[in-house]
Structure formats: structure tokens, C-alpha cells
Amino acid sequence: MSQTTNTNTSRRDFLKTTGRIAATSALVTGIAPSLHAAGSNTINVALIGCGGRGGGAANNALSVKGRGPIKLVAMADVFESKLSSRYKYLKDRHGVKVDVPKSRQFLGFDGYKKAMDCLRPGDIAIFTTPPAFRWVHYPYAIEKGLNVFMEKPVTVDGPTSKRMFKINEAAKAKNLKVGVGLNSRHARHLQELAKRVHDGEIGEIIMERGYRMHGPAAFFQSLPKPAGISDLMYQIQRFHSFIWASGGNFNDFYIHIVDHLSWMKNAWPVKAHAVGGRHYKTSPDGVAYVDQNFDTYSVEYTFADGTKLLFDGRCMNGCHSNFSSYIHGTKGSAIASRRGDCGGPSAIFKGQAPNRSDMVWQARIPRDQQDWYQNEWDDLVDAIVKDEPYNEVDSGVTVSLVSSMGRMAAHTGVEITYDQILNSEHEMAPGLDKLTMDSPAPLKPNSEGRYPVPQPGIVTDREYRDFA
């Protein structure tokens, strides 16, 4: 009997046992026993956070092939409109694979627990809420014995990063499989490039460059809060605009390039200094935007050996666009991403300019592995089915910290080290595990409806000061 067959048999035996446990638990929790038929090898999934990325992750989960059946059985969000629209999108695409009646659609800040209560040990919880809530949701999944897929970023500040490192020790002790949405790590062309760079094909790395420069996107900028919605819900709805919720556009937009260039170097930057500014903060109608983001960021990251990673980010219309990344070594250079977060094919050149005549290697990506969003789900489910070690949280927290280090350097105007950001005492949104729909927002506006913004050189011990 093959190893794969043995593994699948073990999983079926495991699910028979957990199915009986779930059926017994259902008498207490009110979950329908029929959801977990004894002997089923189906992996059930709960989606927690039903925005666009949540729909994408759930779509990828349900699109995994050749690894046994997967069903979506529960959904949770704080916005009914997001939940219902994402349910329709997924039901239209996947039909019977989406088994989420109204009784398993949960609204509110406690919905994550109710959704995970619909799963058995060994099933998968998807976390695609704003990243500030990762540390709130993750311990409950570990308690329930669930595997997890969580989107990036994983944290937004030092205190929550320390918390996530500690929480993850419990997941590793239980051998839970946890994927993080750093899809560069699952782009096959970048995997091949990393192997070649680590084997010395371009020599010692002497510099890396990354760019994400385009017009405003997603919730990068926000107008004053309209009537009919609380400050808390407005900030969650437009999470890219608020540092506490997302790490701002810096963490959410730029983390992939920072991650894969650090991977190519096989090290993490130890310090950063940066510049940035708020240039165009008035709408075409003359209304001032109230988000906390800078329009431009330029960061010089430094590795322990002195090598530099230069990153430029810009969200402005009418300017030169560039969304790519490069590596320079003593024997040559490489294009990591030609376009987007990790767009291939990667290539190596014998000189420092990416001239086609100097190209010595270019990645060839198998047709069925060209979608890195799908690859990360295929890899996670493979690890679950084969019971192989798989936990990406520590690296996810680390790159979130490195991103926050660059952001904080720009927002304060001072050099920030990795140890400083890790040990910073400024937790931007304490008490998120106690939120209700009536709770005040972590960030308070002034009388004009504006929120605190960074003031480089004036506020240097944290990224902004709350209004008195």
C-alpha cells in the first residue's frame, strides 16, 4: 500500500473518530449532527471575513483538486452585505460545495467562534478579516484543533507581534497546519529563482530593489465618515486607511515585495530609515481625506551584513508606474517579479542590466501551477492530507514586523531597528477581543472628523499621537 493511501486511510479513521465527537458535541452546541457524517473524509471550511480577499481565498480552497472533497460550511462577518454577496458569488461558482444555510451565516464580532464551532478538528478556518484581528481569532482555532489559512499581514505593531509568536507555539505543539497568504513563497518561478540565488548563480547579493508605484487603490484614502455608520465600523470597512486595522497601505500593499526580496537574501533586514509624505490629501471636490497613509514612501532597509534593500512605494495618479523587483549580485543580476506582487517569469542576467541579450536563465512555469493563490492552497491541503509539518506564521509575523519597521521609520523620521519595533510598547488597538457592535473605535476623530496622522520629527516614539 502506498504512503499516500496510508495517509488517506489515517485521515478517514481520524475523521470517523472526530465525527462521532462532533455528533456528541452537537447535542450541546446545537450544530446539526448531519454536517459531519461518520466516515467522511471531506475537509470542511469556515470563512471568517467575507470581503474580496475572503471570497478569493474560499474560491481557492474549493478549487483544490485531487486531494479529497472540500466544502464551505460556515461564514462570518460584521457586515451583512459582505456576507450575503460573497455567499452568492461562491454558491454561483461552486454549487453543492457551498453548504452554508442561514443558520451557519453569522454576524457580529463573536461570529468567528460560531463559525469555527461548525468545524471538526482537522478542518480549516480561513481568516480574512482586517489583520488586527489575527491574534483574536487564532487562539480559538488552536483550542478547537483547526488548521488555518490567514491572510497577510499577520500583525500591525510590536505588542501584537510578540503575542502572535507566543500563540503560534501552541499551534506548533499541536502540529496544526497553518498557511499565511504570502503567495510569493508559492510562486514556482520565485521558488526556482530562490534556489539558484542561494546556490550562488549571481554571486553575493550586493543590493536589492523593489517598487510598487501606481494610483490610489482599494481603501488607500478615505473621506470623512458619513452619517449612518459608527467610527468603529467605518474604520473596519475602510481598513487600509487606518494603521491599527491593517498596518496601513504600507503593510498591505508592499509586504509581498519586502518578503520575497528578504527570502532571496535568506535573511531579514535589521534596521530601516525612510522618507515619505502626504502630498495630495484633498478630493477632486475639495474635501480633505482623513486616512492616515502617506502618499509616498521610500525605505532603505539594511541587512546585518550591510547589504541594502531599497523600496519605493507611491499611490499617485499621473506619475510613472512601476511594480517590480530586482536583485543585484557580484556575478550578475535577476528580475524577481516583472509585474505585480510576484509576476513571472523570473530571470537571471550576466550583467547588472536586464538586457535580453544578457539573459542566462528564465523560469518556465507549468501551466497548472501559474496561479500562486491556488498554489498556496494546494500546498496547505497537501500538508494536511499527508500530515506533513506546515506552519508559516513565524515568518508571517516577522515580515509583518519588517514592513512595520519601514513604515514606522517613515512615519517618525528616525531610524528604526527590528528590536525597536518588536519591543515597542505602542499597541494601537488593545482590547479587540472584547469588541461589540457598540464599542468605541480604537482611533478617535477630532471635532472636524479627522484622525491623527504621523508627524515625522515631531512625534518620534510612536507613529501618531491620539487627539487629547
Tell me the domains of the chain and their CATH numbers.
3-184+375-391 (3.40.50.720), 187-369+400-434 (3.30.360.10)
For residue 368, the model assigns a pLDDT of 87
Average pLDDT, the chain: 92
Q: Looking at 18-32, 120-134, 258-272, 375-389, which range is the least confident one?
A: 18-32
SS3 content of the chain, % helix, strand, coil (to 5): 40, 20, 40
For residue 77, the model assigns a pLDDT of 98
Task: State the amino acid at position 459 in one-letter form.
Answer: V
Share of the chain above pLDDT 70, in %: 91
Distance CA 256, CA 187 (A): 11
For residue 366, the model assigns a pLDDT of 87
410 φ, ψ (degrees, to nearest 5): -70, -40
What average pLDDT does this structure show over 330-357?
Answer: 96
Contact criterion met (CB below 8 Å) for 191 and 338: no
pLDDT for residue 31 is more than 50: no
What average pLDDT does this structure show over 384-404?
Answer: 98
Would you give the DSSP letter of residue 335? E
Mention every residue, 6+ apart, whose C-beta is less than 8 A from residue 372. Answer: 183, 184, 186, 187, 188, 342
For residue 22, the model assigns a pLDDT of 37
Greater confidence, 27 or 154?
A: 154
Predicted TM-score (pTM) above 0.85: yes
For residue 390, the model assigns a pLDDT of 98
Q: What is the pLDDT of residues 43-96, one digit of tens each?
A: 999 999 999 999 999 999 999 999 889 999 999 999 999 999 999 999 999 999
Q: What is the pLDDT of residues 421-458, one digit of tens each?
A: 999 999 999 999 999 999 999 999 998 889 999 999 99
Angle 286-289-290 from CA coordinates, rounded to 5°: 145
Q: What is the pLDDT of residues 207-261, one digit of tens each?
A: 999 999 999 999 999 999 999 999 999 999 999 999 999 999 999 999 999 999 9
Task: State the amino acid at position 414 in one-letter form.
Answer: V
Contact criterion met (CB below 8 Å) for 325 and 210: yes
In angstroms, how far is the first alpha carbon of the chain from the final one? 69
Query: Within a 10 A sphere around the Cβ of 383, how many other Cβ atoms?
Result: 17
Query: What band does 280 get if pLDDT is binned at 50, 70 and 90?
Result: confident
Residue 282, beta-bridge partner list = 288
What average pLDDT does this structure show over 346-372?
Answer: 94
Query: What band does 367 get if pLDDT is binned at 50, 70 and 90?
Result: confident
Query: What band does 283 get if pLDDT is binned at 50, 70 and 90?
Result: confident
What average pLDDT does this structure show over 290-294?
Answer: 96
* Grid coordinates belonging to 442: 480604537
pLDDT for residue 126 is more than 90: yes
Parallel, antiparallel, or unpaired for β 147-150 and 124-127? parallel
pLDDT for residue 168 is more than 60: yes
Parallel, antiparallel, or unpaired for β 359-362 and 347-349? antiparallel
What average pLDDT does this structure show over 354-358?
Answer: 95
Distance CA 195, CA 329 (A): 15
Q: Looking at 32-41, 221-230, 299-308, 392-401, which range is the least confident one?
A: 32-41
pLDDT for residue 20 is more than 80: no
Measured in whole angstroms, the distance separating CA 416 from the mean position of its chain's CA atoms is 23
Query: Which residue in the block uniquely carries the three cell numbers 470542511?
Result: 44
Q: Considering only CA atoms, which of 82, 75, 92 is closest in space to residue 52?
A: 82
Start-end of H helices in 174-208: 188-198
Between the CA of residue 355 and those of 8, 19, 205, 350, 364, what are the distances in Å? Answer: 49, 59, 19, 9, 18
Distance CA 265, CA 307 (A): 9
The sheet with strand 124-127 has its strands ordered as 105-107, 70-77, 43-48, 124-127, 147-150, 178-180
Q: Render 121-145 in DSSP notation, one character per residue.
A: TT-EEEE-S-GGGHHHHHHHHHHHT
* Grid coordinates belonging to 345: 517569469
For residue 10, the model assigns a pLDDT of 41
Task: State the amino acid at position 262 in one-letter form.
Answer: S
For residue 349, the model assigns a pLDDT of 98
pLDDT for residue 265 is more than 70: yes
For residue 372, the model assigns a pLDDT of 95
For residue 93, the model assigns a pLDDT of 97
Distance CA 58, CA 100 (A): 13
Query: Within a 10 A sphere around the Cβ of 191, how many other Cβ atoms?
Result: 17
